[in-house]
Structure 1
């Protein structure tokens, strides 16, 4: 269950993200990166190493640092009871994924769906949900402390929100970041993809980054 400390941490993370955005607005755009120019994927220079994490994939295997190496990865937070943002986003990401089918599987960009509703979303459930949009989509979750640490490392937030008085007792939704983290082939936090986005443009951005990272 969420507690007062969790809410304070989430608010602090939002404030930190807002401070970063304001500083960039005031002092100008970030320095150029060594990667090709992208139209919608916004890259950081230098990329940021992520701390240790341990999530559970939909097939029950662990998702740990190193598992995502070799691929550019878009990380999207959501939950299977999400009424609008999650299915819309995953459907649009699937439009980009279809365009990567011709790329070598060993380097093909990936989409990772992270469920931030561990009370209701089992590994089996998130796998069925994510694969309904595209079979290549990875899905993972974890217990609440592990999720909080991982999401915070991506400068993202989520919070459990009770539904109104008219809803059945105990019913809730999840507020969460809609932007996506972009991880580079070394598994580092390398950028963000903000909403709304054009699947065709994102497909081209990630294909160009994949080509540039190829040996």
Structure 2
């Protein structure tokens, strides 16, 4: 039978053993959490593109609601199925807007022979709803190319939409008592899944834009 001294020694040894085991458990690294998934590489090698600058990973667009020129809503589903080039502007723009829409019209003409199901499209969004109704916006855009989508909306809707694309605009009063609109000049590229995939920065070369979007539409439908 154990005497008191032996019992104390056993208890001490047991405590020491438990302490060592606890320390070992604490020092053993926990199983590593699964590594964050690496963004998928663009479907098209960016080096093959001349005008479009693709993001490393497309950016989903939050919900938005604008009004198209025919009175129907422009919602995210409308920008799915085809690659889209988005341009902000306004019908009273004296130079940049008509020039850019003319350049985009040249690209659109180059896409005419592509199958309609994957033909790229252009969306013109007026950021001047005080003067540009949806119908007027549509008439203006169609003057440059009849296939151009056109939309506008309330200030709140426009700010939400443009902000989600990283674009900005502002109303600027003129000395003549009128106003003009300053806005981002870059074009936003939306992929066929309705995600922001890249940008096109000026100066714009219609042939390069046409070739890039045709390539993207073919290889990343």
Residue 158 of structure 1 corresponds to: 169
- Unaligned ranges ≥5, structure 2: 1-39
Q: Is contact 2:165–2:196 with CA below 8 Å preserved after alignment?
A: yes
Residue 77 of structure 1 corresponds to: 88
Residue 186 of structure 2 corresponds to: 179
Choose between structure 1 and 2: higher helix proportion. 2
Matched, 1:105 2:105: no
Normalised by the length of structure 1, the TM-score is 0.82
| Count of residue correspondences | 181
Q: Deviations over 1:58-87 (max 9, x none)?
A: 000000011110111000000000000000
Residue 35 of structure 1 corresponds to: 44
Residue 62 of structure 1 corresponds to: 73
Structure-2 separation of matches of 1:129 and 1:197 = 20
2:208 to 198, 201, 207: 201
Normalised by the length of structure 2, the TM-score is 0.80
Structure-1 separation of matches of 2:172 and 2:73 = 28
Q: Deviations over 1:169-194 (max 9, x none)?
A: 3x100000000110000000000000
Residue 190 of structure 1 corresponds to: 197
Q: Partner of 1:75: helix, strand, or coil?
A: strand
Give the C-alpha shift of residue 106 in structure 1: 1.4
Q: Partner of 1:205: helix, strand, or coil?
A: helix
Matched, 1:131 2:131: no
- Unaligned ranges ≥5, structure 1: 1-30
Give the C-alpha shift of residue 213 in structure 1: 2.3
CA RMSD of aligned residues (A): 1.4
Q: Partner of 2:161: helix, strand, or coil?
A: helix
Consecutive aligned runs of 4 or more in structure 1 exceeding 3 Å deviation: none
Q: Partner of 1:113: helix, strand, or coil?
A: strand
Structure-2 separation of matches of 1:50 and 1:156 = 13
Give the C-alpha shift of residue 34 in structure 1: 2.4
Q: Radius of gyration: which is bigger?
A: 2
Give the C-alpha shift of residue 124 in structure 1: 1.1
Q: Is contact 2:110–2:210 with CA below 8 Å preserved after alignment?
A: yes
